[in-house]
Structure 1
Amino acid sequence: MIRLVKLYKSYKLNGRTKIVARNLNAVFPTGVSVALLGRNGAGKSSLLRMISGAMLPTSGQILSTGTISWPVGFAGSFNRDLTGEQNCRFVARVYGVDTDEMRDFVQDFAELGDHFYLPFRTYSSGMRARLAFGVSMAVPFDTYLVDEVSAVGDASFREKSNRVFNDRMSNAGAIVVSHSMTMLRQTCQAGAVLEGGTLSYYHDVEDAIDVHLSNMERNLAVQG
């Protein structure tokens, strides 16, 4: 379970104050995959970063009874001078995972060949994404944070990625940000809509999608 308690977040943007969370109070239940919806700039990624611990709120608390992942596929924390294998071992030690098991899993999953033993700085963007997604899936979290992650590679690799991700979801929950309503319907049971700094939780993902699409239509009408 993840509980937001009077969560407030604001920051300066071009000299103006931007509020992305206005005293949010919400509960994300254990074992439930929740679609996090909202317009561009609403603060979805900022909220995920706060839940992951990568960003501090201005005030309020985020409480959890289980383990929470970093945003799935995020490669920004890898040491660019370490090899793919060394980065795997480092993450395994931090999260208390068997280092050999993580190395074997990621090596098999990412399909990097000899590059697995070369420095991360030599990787292409696609290779970095493969390594990052593999490492994310190698750690058994209670809740996975997913921010517009998309599998790279050919059709068979994307199928393998989806298969591994769905396997993890059978024993965990998730908070998922995506512009694909099809993906959200396939992955999530519930939904939450972030709009104007407020968060509304819906036990049925279809209800959340309906509200989100209505907000989008209303915004287009105002702009028109």
Structure 2
Amino acid sequence: MIELESVSKYYATRSGARRILSDVSTRIAAGERIGILGRNGSGKSTLLRLLSGVERPSRGEVRRSMSVSWPLAFGGAFQSSLTGLDNLRFICRLYDVPFEEKVEFVERFTELGAYLREPVKRYSAGMRARLSFALSLAVDFDCYLIDEVIAVGDSTFHKKCEYELFERRGACAFVLVSHATDLIERYCRRAAVLKGGRFSEFGTVADAYEHYRG
């Protein structure tokens, strides 16, 4: 279970505090899938960082009783001077996962070839996203946080992402933020909208989309 209780997030700016999220309360149970709609700048990525623990709320509380991934495609935890495989080694040590058992999967999944043995600072944004996705899948989390990562790469890579996440890990919980309502309709059982810092939940994706468009 992940529980958010009256969570708000502010960032300091030159003109004063800027509110991103305001009094968000929700629960995500084991195995549950929730889609989140919101326009650019609505706070979707901020919410995922709070769920993962990458950031802390300005006010309120986030409680976790299951393991949660970092936001897929988030590369902020990379050591850019290390190679892709060295970053995998670090993640495996951190989560007590056998490194040797994960190398083949990461090589096959990322399709980065020799670049896996190059420093991450030489990667393009898309290459970093592929690596972050693969490293997330190298660890068995109870809940995966997905931030538009399926848009990375070509159609073949999109299908590979969807298979790895939604079929092979079908029993896991997901929080999926996306502008692609068809993706949310296909894989999520409920949906919410972030608008003006407010988090509104709906029983169906159709109802959420109607509110999102309004």
TM-score (norm 2): 0.90
Cα shift at 1:168? 4.4
> In 2, Cα distance between the equivalents of 1:129 and 1:45?
15
> In 2, Cα distance between the equivalents of 1:197 and 1:187?
25
Cα shift at 1:117? 1.7
Q: Residue 150 of structure 2 contacts residue 161 of structure 2 at CA under 8 Å; is this kept in 1?
A: no
The yes-or-no answer on 1:184 pairing with 2:178 is no
Q: Residue 129 of structure 2 contacts residue 149 of structure 2 at CA under 8 Å; is this kept in 1?
A: no
Q: Residue 38 of structure 2 contacts residue 179 of structure 2 at CA under 8 Å; is this kept in 1?
A: no
Q: Deviations over 1:5-51 (max 9, x none)?
A: 12122223440432222222211222111111223322221111111
Aligned to 1:129: 129
Aligned to 1:222: none
Q: Residue 34 of structure 1 contacts residue 205 of structure 1 at CA under 8 Å; is this kept in 2?
A: no
Q: Residue 89 of structure 1 contacts residue 102 of structure 1 at CA under 8 Å; is this kept in 2?
A: no
The yes-or-no answer on 1:8 pairing with 2:15 is no
Q: Which amino acid aligns with 1:204?
A: T
Q: Output aligned runs, 1:114-125, within 5 Å.
A: 114-125=114-125
- After superposition, the CA RMSD in angstroms is 1.9
Q: 33-42 vs 50-59, which deviates more?
A: 33-42
Q: Secondary structure at the match of 1:105?
A: helix
CA gap 1:10/1:91 in 2 versus in 1, 3 angstroms:
same
Cα shift at 1:72? 0.5
Aligned to 2:206: 206
Q: Secondary structure at the match of 1:35?
A: strand
Aligned to 1:147: 147
Q: Secondary structure at the match of 2:35?
A: strand
Q: 171-180 vs 116-125, which deviates more?
A: 116-125
Aligned to 2:17: 17
Q: Residue 83 of structure 2 contacts residue 118 of structure 2 at CA under 8 Å; is this kept in 1?
A: yes
> In 1, Cα distance between the equivalents of 2:196 and 2:159?
37
**Unmatched tracts of structure 1, length 5 or more:** 215-224
Q: 8-17 vs 132-141, which deviates more?
A: 8-17
Q: Output aligned runs, 1:65-214, within 5 Å.
A: 65-214=65-214
> In 1, Cα distance between the equivalents of 2:112 and 2:38?
35
Q: Which amino acid aligns with 1:2?
A: I
Q: Deviations over 1:78-125 (max 9, x none)?
A: 111211111111111112222112222111211222222222222233
Q: Secondary structure at the match of 1:55?
A: coil
Q: Deviations over 1:158-178 (max 9, x none)?
A: 322221122244021111111
TM-score (norm 1): 0.87
Q: Secondary structure at the match of 1:8?
A: strand
> In 2, Cα distance between the equivalents of 1:135 and 1:204?
32
Q: 20-29 vs 69-78, which deviates more?
A: 20-29
> In 1, Cα distance between the equivalents of 2:43 and 2:112?
34
